Structure 1
Amino acid sequence: MAAAKIHVDNTQVLEALNRLVQQSGDLSEPLQEIGEYLVESTKQRFATKTAPDGTAWKGNSPVTIDRKGRDDALIGETTQLADAIFPNVSGNTLEIGSTRQYAAMQQFGGRRSDFAHLWGDIPARPFLGLSDEDEDVVLEILSDYIANE
């Protein structure tokens, strides 16, 4: 998997993770549960066309519409990318990502001047990351594990 890293720095989440590590030392089970939730949350962003911070994705440009002859789904919006989102738990680390080569272009965008194969600039349409709601759910999952240790 090509890696583009997004680091989440939420004090409450980190404190809860540290408490759980101190109690059990093994985060694999809660991280797997969090990963499964985040995959579904990430897939939902494709349906709502919104970034983790709640901002709407930019629509197709006139160049794209002209080239395709219609204004159809946004590039990367099809289920091909959404269905290729997966969690990977390794030790006490959780990664959410995709093996699709164009996932980084969807997340970060790209300029035609940097990628000659593009017919125009591609705006960033972020799908990876934690929304406020995601952070609340992650804290709830961690709290449940802490309470049961």
Structure 2
Amino acid sequence: MTIRLQVDMDSVSDMLRSLTGRLQNLRPLMRDIGEIVVDHIKGNFRQGTAPDGTPWKPSVRALREGGRTLIDTGVLRNSFHEQPGRRSVLVGTADVRAAVHQFGARAGAFGTMDVLVREHVRRWRGKDVRVRAHTRRQRIPWGDIPARPFMPDPDHLPRILSEDIRKSILNFLWL
């Protein structure tokens, strides 16, 4: 049995030239990958889970007022963006609260500050007592903030995120 294979070298050469040209500037691919990662981060906020699917510990505000953890105004969730380059993409936020929520913080981890306590009336041993205005040293943060990760670890991407990135790469290579 013999199989004869004939290859049109002109079409193969055209395809390789096209592929070589696309590989010189990966910015469109990096933009797509960045958008995929940002979409997954926003999905973590919608679901209230870490990238691996672990539910976040509910916040005190969400428990007290109702609503969802880390979504009060939506500013943090909507602050994520991608910055594509020729060979890489950066995904992040300029919101200073992001690192504390991603990794958590122990009470007093950022030091202390003096706060003004206004004059007020306090009930003490059955009597109303007037408390003069004074300053108090307050820990920052005043209580522990548990980690509520939303950004994926680049070394351990969730399967669904890896699959979406793989599809984007294949689409880019074979346009």
TM-score normalised to the size of structure 1?
0.73
Q: Kindly provide the amino acid, as one letter, of the partner of residue 132 in structure 1.
A: R
Are 1:104 and 2:99 counterparts? yes
Q: Kindly provide the amino acid, as one letter, of the partner of residue 125 in structure 1.
A: R
Q: Quote the RMSD (CA, aligned, Å).
A: 2.4
Q: CA separation of 1:91/1:108 partners in 2, compared to 1, >3 Å: closer, same or farther?
A: same
Q: How many pairs does the alignment contain?
A: 124
Cα distance in 1, alignment partners of residues 67 and 76 from structure 2 = 13
Query: Percent identity of the aligned residues?
Result: 29
Runs of 5+ in structure 2 lacking a partner? 1-18, 111-138
Q: Provide the residue aligned with 1:16 in structure 2.
A: none
Q: CA separation of 1:23/1:83 partners in 2, compared to 1, >3 Å: closer, same or farther?
A: closer
Runs of 5+ in structure 1 lacking a partner? 1-19
Which shows bigger deviation, 85-94 or 132-141? 85-94
Q: Provide the residue aligned with 2:158 in structure 1.
A: 131
Cα contact 2:108–2:140 (8 A) shared by 1: no
Q: CA separation of 1:24/1:138 partners in 2, compared to 1, >3 Å: closer, same or farther?
A: same
Cα contact 1:107–1:127 (8 A) shared by 2: yes
Q: Kindly provide the amino acid, as one letter, of the partner of residue 136 in structure 1.
A: E
Q: CA separation of 1:112/1:102 partners in 2, compared to 1, >3 Å: closer, same or farther?
A: same
Cα distance in 2, alignment partners of residues 59 and 22 from structure 1 = 49
Q: Provide the residue aligned with 2:34 in structure 1.
A: 35
Q: Provide the residue aligned with 1:77 in structure 2.
A: 71
Cα distance in 2, alignment partners of residues 34 and 108 from structure 1 = 24
Larger Rg: 2
Cα contact 2:109–2:140 (8 A) shared by 1: no
- TM-aligned CA deviation for residue 54 of structure 1: 1.1
**Which structure carries more helix by proportion?**
1
Cα contact 2:103–2:146 (8 A) shared by 1: yes
Cα contact 2:30–2:85 (8 A) shared by 1: no
Q: Secondary structure at the match of 2:51?
A: coil
Cα distance in 2, alignment partners of residues 124 and 138 from structure 1 = 26
Q: Kindly provide the amino acid, as one letter, of the partner of residue 86 in structure 2.
A: G
Cα contact 1:21–1:27 (8 A) shared by 2: no
Correspondence list, 1:110-129, <5 A: 110-115=105-110, 116-129=139-152
Correspondence list, 1:13-52, <5 A: 24-52=23-51
Cα contact 2:107–2:144 (8 A) shared by 1: yes
Q: Secondary structure at the match of 2:64?
A: coil
Q: Kindly provide the amino acid, as one letter, of the partner of residue 171 in structure 2.
A: D
Q: Kindly provide the amino acid, as one letter, of the partner of residue 89 in structure 2.
A: L
Q: Work out which structure has the larger RCO, using CA pairs closer than 8 Å and 6 or more positions apart in sequence.
A: 1
TM-score normalised to the size of structure 2?
0.63
